[in-house]
Amino acid sequence: MPIQKMMMMGILPRSWSIFAPRFDRNGSRPADLVVAGARIITCHESAPRASALAVKDGLIAYVGDDAGVRDFVGLSTRVINGKGRTLTPGFIDNHCHVLWIGGLTSLMTTDLFTCETVDEMREVVQRQAARFPDSAIVMAQGWKQHCIPEGVSQLELLDSWVPDRPAALMSYMATGWVNSRMLELMTERNPAAMELLVPERDGAGACNGLLRHFHAFNPLDFVSLDELGPGVKELMFEAMERVLGEALSVGVTTMDDVQVYKPYFPVILEFRDRGGLDNVRVRCGYYLPNSVLDDEAALERDLSWWKELGKAESDEHLTLGRSVKLYIDGVASNHAALNFEPYADMPDSLGDAVWTQEGFDRVIEIIDSMDLQACTHCCGDAGINRVINSYERAYRLHGKRDIRHRADHCSRPAVDDYERLAKVGVYAAMQPAHFFGDQTVEAALGHNRLQHFQPWRSLEKAGVNISFGSDWCAGPINPVYGLLIAANRMNYHFSTSWGPAEKIGIEGAIRHWTIDSARALHMEDDIGSIEVGKRADFVLFNTSPLKLSSHWFLFTHALELGAMDGYVDLTVVGGEIAYRKEGAQV
């Protein structure tokens, strides 16, 4: 059937035609860029759909139908034919580590993520050691506990792989593993870091080299940049550029790097000054360990420094000085998330608390009094409850201003806390890919608790401010995988048996990853939706994300990691093309 006849019969909407309209190029308000003939999801509640947009001086100048955009087409206007493809706002990752861990990937291989046997892990670690013979620390990330044979001393195992240098490995769930040489370096240069060790002891009375919270392991606490090897800063710049480029290629235009250490900010600023952030937007959070209350005066000086740094150095591509990162607990996979009830496979453990309630009350009181946003890692129901308590207390003490304290991950809040999260005004910054899980999470939580794991639908109904992100490098930066999981509740068995009623609509999930994430970053006035006056950050897909929840899509598309990385044709940031897929018709 001819396409024109299909349109006349209503089978195809005119505004989503595969042909963009022809323009005379005599518009009275010529724009720099026009997209027409697209299927635009604006994420703007009062006008959720459009087919065309115009960009002038980096800002959106028009959103509407194809006929209305004609007035914005001049002689020099670049016109892109949407060809019925889906266009969304640029995705905003609410929680990731693209600059800090991204820079470290220059010296910390990610190949362990693909390992499923201990022999594969050994080969990766030894290959990394050989690749960087001059580095003071051998680093890798992505190891999985289930790959380690039971009854094996992990300290001795890693010592056998790397006997001559310190080695530090980060698991895919942010726990750590170090060898004896690393323990010696920790004792020598930063003894406080020994508190990170798992308290379990082996038969000989020596620690097993496991760290509960690798998030608090900062290599620059133990070695200088020079000791990490020659030219390490250039390698960090290249690594950050690769990670940001990957993000742009899958439609992520803004990232909240929630946890950056003070010694690393000069590296970030130099990277920015060299143009490394010209095509993206990144906000950084300042990490606060649980020792900061040892000297409250020093803490307040540090927070004042952080705010002043933000005033002096923030621009449209880099935002500093507005948020801090804390932890209340760990993760369920290694029994470190703080629970009200014991773990299913460890009945004598409720998990770990990084802070007492009283201590957390005090540190949040100080942070809130300085008008800084707290972004707190909290996974277990008791940990989340403790965070809500402290935020509520701070708002009661100082008055509820628009600070938007966050519960990051918010993986398993108590059912009784759903409405309380909304009432207190806590922003739940969640990462759907974590729901996929693995056998350690399944064993730790058990069937009943998994029905309330990542309860997106219930939190939506309760009125909680939800936002989405990736937690890269603990999850893929590509939002498509998280959207797929959020809309289908698919776990690592490729089953939907964990709380299927908690799945959400795909368009709602897109909003959580765009305008709702913008709100979580205090950026909704500038980005997050396709609206006139906002920065022109948007993504043109060749495969519509709206299809991710359909049975047809699930049956006809490969779903494994990496198979869905080519769904973006074009990513635009500030009206400039930041990524264009090779061969794409744009």
Per-residue model confidence as pLDDT tens digits over 258-307: 999 998 999 999 999 999 999 999 999 999 999 999 999 999 999 999 99
- Please give the CATH topology (third level) of the domain spanning 108-228: Diaminopimelate Epimerase; Chain A, domain 1 (3.10.310)
Over residues 191-215, the pLDDT tens digits come to 777 777 765 544 444 578 888 777 7
Report DSSP state, residue 20: P
In CATH, what class is 93-97+232-520?
A: alpha beta
CB atoms near residue 265 (< 10 Å): 18
The span from the CA of 138 to the CA of 140, in Å, is 7
Structure token pair of residue 184: 């010696």
Q: Is the pLDDT of residue 11 over 50?
A: no
pLDDT for 204 equals: 46
How far, in Å, are 26, 187, 548 from residue 551 at the CA level? Answer: 46, 55, 8
The C-alpha angle with vertex 571 and arms to 565 and 575, in degrees rounded to 5, equals 175
pLDDT for 20 equals: 59
Q: Is the pLDDT of residue 347 over 80?
A: yes
CATH topology identical between 93-97+232-520 and 108-228: no
Q: Is the pLDDT of residue 15 over 50?
A: no
Q: Is the pLDDT of residue 404 over 90?
A: yes
Share of the chain above pLDDT 70, in %: 95
Q: Do 50 and 64 touch, CB atoms closer than 8 A?
A: yes
The span from the CA of 586 to the CA of 584, in Å, is 6
pLDDT for 548 equals: 92
Q: Is the pLDDT of residue 423 over 50?
A: yes
Q: Phi and psi dihedrals of 480, rounded to 5?
A: -55, -40
Lowest mean pLDDT across 167-176, 281-290, 426-435: 167-176
pLDDT for 105 equals: 85
Would you place residue 90 in the very low, low, confident or very high pLDDT band (cuts 50, 70, 90)? Answer: very high
Lowest mean pLDDT across 8-17, 158-167, 312-321, 493-502: 8-17
**Greater confidence, 12 or 298?**
298
Average pLDDT, the chain: 91
Would you place residue 19 in the very low, low, confident or very high pLDDT band (cuts 50, 70, 90)? Answer: low
Q: Which CATH number fits domain 3-90+538-580: 3.40.50.11540, 3.30.450.20, 2.30.40.10, 2.60.40.420?
A: 2.30.40.10
Q: Is the pLDDT of residue 150 over 90?
A: no
Q: Is the pLDDT of residue 81 over 50?
A: yes
Rg (CA), the chain: 24
The span from the CA of 181 to the CA of 167, in Å, is 7
Over residues 233-258, the pLDDT tens digits come to 999 999 999 999 999 999 999 999 99
| Chain position carrying tokens 């979580």 | 520
Q: Is the pLDDT of residue 16 over 60?
A: no
User: What is the arithmetic mean of pLDDT over 149-164?
Assistant: 91
> Hey, where are the domains in the chain?
3-90+538-580, 93-97+232-520, 108-228
How far, in Å, are 130, 136, 154, 222, 400 from residue 181 at the CA level? Answer: 17, 10, 14, 12, 49
Would you place residue 1 in the very low, low, confident or very high pLDDT band (cuts 50, 70, 90)? Answer: very low
Indicate the residue type of 391.
Answer: Y
Over residues 555-581, the pLDDT tens digits come to 888 888 888 899 999 999 999 999 999
Q: Do 322 and 260 touch, CB atoms closer than 8 A?
A: no
CB atoms near residue 554 (< 10 Å): 15
Share of the chain above pLDDT 90, in %: 75
Q: Phi and psi dihedrals of 325, rounded to 5?
A: -115, 130
